[in-house]
A and B are shown apart, each in its own frame.
Chain A
């Protein structure tokens, strides 16, 4: 008797099944795109600790009211001008040359009534409780943008045109940096010391105060 060959399984519909699964996963996939503005909160403090003494001219006050209007150094301002105003303030370098606070890398106007040195300069943001979160983030974004602008400028000046602060930082974060990561982090730190991020947030005002 002739041996009967086992019939071959028809694999023609395999592609259909695979397609079906593929489409299911295509539809359900949400490729995560979580990026944001990182911030470190100040640690908890006792109530009776006096605030550190700061010269008035070293503080840059940004207040946002309940209808999302900006008041910068007691002048009404559009959001688009905020970044430049913050850059001018931080980069001012108002201390005269020879004094211990003299800023040798500042390129600002050197206005004696504005900040002495970026190390001393503090940006203070005051929000109303009813300010929208959108505006809050927009203000934070512009201020971080001002710092990044200055840090990029310094990193290019000190370490050459290939070393842009924000790009290197992102590359290290994503593990894509080519070269010595430790050395690069050291350089980033050096730049952070030139322009330390000093963003203070006042307690938001309550209604009727």
Chain B
């Protein structure tokens, strides 16, 4: 009779959380591996234009050039005209060749001949500045460039 008596205290057993640290550690390692700490602080406004016919950039062989107007906390010092930034400092068009050669030398030697110059230019910059950069690049014979763009389309207002 008492065989089928319901057990006392039919609470749910507590969920075993012993493996929680393992799961969290796994996530942690994932993020640690994919994290790239920014090594150059941007001193310019850098809102990229949108494009959808894009190709992927090969990171190991690229030199970055940033351009745009200085961000608000640098504006008293550098004005509001479009500026070029390589690494962590502003560069003038006349110094561009030197700065680029320096940046190229930081790449792996076997890739230096295949260098791709990635242009990250703010969308409000004048094209004239970009043209000046391109002229300097032609002088240096670094003719492979890529205009970095944000995904999306200019035709699409979203």
Contact = CB atoms under 8 A, between A and B. Distances in A.
A134 B57 CA distance: 20
B139 to A, nearest CB: 6
Contact of A37 (B24, B27, B55): B55
Interface in A13-54: 14-15, 18-19, 21-22, 25-26, 28-44
Contact of B49 (A11, A40, A130, A138): A138
A133 B130 contact: yes
A133 B126 contact: yes
A124 interface: no
Contact of B127 (A26, A43, A136, A148): A136
Given A14-B21, A41-B138, A35 B149 contact: yes
Contacts of A136: 49, 127, 130
Nearest to B17: A15
A137 interface: yes
Contact of B125 (A39, A43, A133, A145): A133
Given A18-B21, A35-B149, A29 B31 contact: yes
Chain B interface, DSSP helix/strand/loop, else mixed: mixed
Given A134-B123, A137-B49, A137-B123, A38 B138 contact: no
A141 B125 contact: no
Interface in A177-196: none
A75 interface: no
Given A34-B148, A133-B125, A18 B38 contact: no
Interface of A: 11, 14-15, 18-19, 21-22, 25-26, 28-44, 64, 79-80, 127-138, 140-141, 144-145, 148, 166, 169-170, 173-174, 203-204
Interface of B: 17, 20-21, 24-25, 27-28, 31-32, 34-38, 49-57, 59, 116, 118-119, 121-128, 130-131, 134, 137-139, 141, 143-149, 151, 153-155
